[in-house]
Structure 1
Amino acid sequence: MVRIALGIEYCGTAFRGWQSQANAATVQDALEAALAVIAGEPTGVVCAGRTDAGVHATHQVAHFDTQVERPLSAWVRGVNTHLPDGVAVRWAKPVGDEFHARFSARGRRYRYLLLNRPQRPGLWQGRVGWHHLPLDLGAMQDAACRLLGEHDFSAFRAAECQAKTPVKTMTQAEVRACGAMLVFDFEASAFLHHMVRNLVGTLVYIGKGTHPPLWVDELLAMKDRKLAAPTFSPDGLYFRGPIYEAHWELPQPDDDLIDGMLA
């Protein structure tokens, strides 16, 4: 038995999220079906971070166990020939049995792209969020800094969230402008269900002047989801990948592609 780790990218627009569901097109279902063709047997996968419907991934990581011997190219190019448009395996690497795509991760990273202009997106439709009124970048940056550190993020947690604790450590919370595109980057020990989209919604409310940056402090203290802003659209959310210890020697996320498109 050998364990293989995979690096995967996908556009979530056509999928009902990562996790397998009955009568729904999901990334997990598509990947497992493609792997089964190459392996010649049913092959289940475990991912680093499940994504919701419409959410994208630039560096999802998953692992699977198999008894068959195949060249690594089969797990990349071979699997890709059986995957639908919008999802592709980037790399494959053998790992030890102690590696687990989810539980070996010591952190995770997300990016949200928000088009801030009067006209709705055309070229970027389905791949960015959108707000038509001007937003105050400085106010959002001030508010984002208040998210850093260990906090109870209950105010940004979906009601159906199954996490054991709402307490997470945020190590990056930044907002920058790239032309008409606002780029939100978050890195934390772990994230709650809808947490990033709820954070973006709150920062947008602050950016349009509905609340001051201090509102973030109040929401963290009150721990009440009903008091924060509505959940923002999934269109602009990208899972940028898990963070592993260096000794696993896994390929690193390639952020140059999106950064280059924004430049």
Structure 2
Amino acid sequence: MSMKSQESRGGRIRLVVAYDGADFHGFARQQGLRTVQGVLEDTLSNMLQVPILVHGSGRTDKGVHARAQVVHWDQPYGPPADRVVHVLRNRLPADIIPIQAREVDSEFHARFSVVRKTYRYALYRKPIPDVFTYRFSWHVAEPLNLAQMRLAASELVGEHDFTSFCAVAAPQENKVRRIYRVELQEDRDGNLYVFCEGSGFLQYMVRIIVGTLVDVGLGSINADAMPAILAARDRAASGRTAPPHGLCLWNVEYPTVYGGRVLDL
């Protein structure tokens, strides 16, 4: 029985998905490459037998993961929101997991309705890499000065021009962003997690922030240099770019009318 022949309804659907980004060329569709958006659109179009365009809360780069990516699409018919997750779990590949779905009004937009995002970056700090975590963390075995890293991170909170912390070819003309927190959390095994929460992020911004903080922790950049790095508005002034596989889109927040944070922290 086709989806169209089943009892169904149209409208705008918001879906929260998690994915392992290791085998994707990022979120955004690219001709001839496997991407999260491309897989979602192909799956939904085949399921509903009409072309479906998926809009995401933001683009993650090749190799970057998501705990809570948000997408929306408009459908002329299809399963009601309370069945979308179940239906898609039987159709999507194992590295994309649908988590929750809801119907939203036509004013909602997965990207433009966002009020803040949270990214988490994981650093695995034991001497020998772990085969079960290497796809999701950056192995940094050298000792890190966490006190200096936290001091440097505090200088990034607030509204700044982040030209020094984004790709030289970043497409956004306005490089000013507001950062609400850059927090370092250490677990019982000594592994480190860097949480970056802000109104929005530029291309490679979180990865450059983390790479620069690691350089601070290793002693190659002074923590008190952060204001000067920001003021330089020059990518060459900051530190390295952390590899993509340690980064995860952790949470997305919308106005209260749309439910606030999409997942509990």
CA offset digits 1:46-80 (Å, max 9, x no partner): 00011001100000001000111423244212122
Question: Aligned match of 1:197 in 207, 210, 223?
Answer: 207
Question: Which position in structure 2 is the counterpart of 1:30?
Answer: 39
Residue 173 of structure 1 and its aligned partner are, at CA, apart by: 0.7
Structure 2: distance between partners of 1:76 and 1:101: 17
Question: Which position in structure 2 is the counterpart of 1:208?
Answer: 218
Instruction: State the one-letter code of the partner of 2:142.
Output: L
Q: 1:135 aligned to 2:144?
A: yes
Question: Which position in structure 1 is the counterpart of 2:121?
Answer: 112
Aligned 8 A contact 1:57 1:239 in 2? yes
Residue 254 of structure 1 and its aligned partner are, at CA, apart by: 3.8
Instruction: State the one-letter code of the partner of 1:26.
Output: T
Question: Which position in structure 2 is the counterpart of 1:172?
Answer: 181
Question: Aligned match of 1:247 in 251, 254, 257?
Answer: 257
CA offset digits 1:198-240 (Å, max 9, x no partner): 0000000000111221121110011110121121101110001
Instruction: State the one-letter code of the partner of 2:178.
Output: T
Question: Aligned match of 1:99 in 108, 123, 126?
Answer: 108
RMSD between aligned residues: 1.3
Instruction: State the one-letter code of the partner of 2:101.
Output: A
Identity %, equivalent residues: 34
Structure 2: distance between partners of 1:70 and 1:117: 47
Question: Aligned match of 1:4 in 6, 13, 17?
Answer: 13
Structure 1: distance between partners of 2:81 and 2:104: 12
Question: Which position in structure 2 is the counterpart of 1:155?
Answer: 164
Aligned 8 A contact 1:117 1:134 in 2? no
Question: Which position in structure 2 is the counterpart of 1:221?
Answer: 231
* Worse overlay, 73-82 or 112-121: 73-82
Q: Which runs of 4+ in 1 moved over 3 A?
A: none
Matched residue SS, 2:223: coil
Q: Name stretches of at least 5 consecutive residues in structure 2 with no aligned partner.
A: 1-9
Q: Name stretches of at least 5 consecutive residues in structure 1 with no aligned partner.
A: 256-263
Residue 128 of structure 1 and its aligned partner are, at CA, apart by: 0.5
| Normalised TM-score (structure 1) | 0.93
Aligned 8 A contact 2:253 2:261 in 1? no
Question: Which position in structure 2 is the counterpart of 1:84?
Answer: 93
| Normalised TM-score (structure 2) | 0.92
Residue 250 of structure 1 and its aligned partner are, at CA, apart by: 6.2
Structure 1: distance between partners of 2:208 and 2:135: 18
Q: 1:48 aligned to 2:57?
A: yes
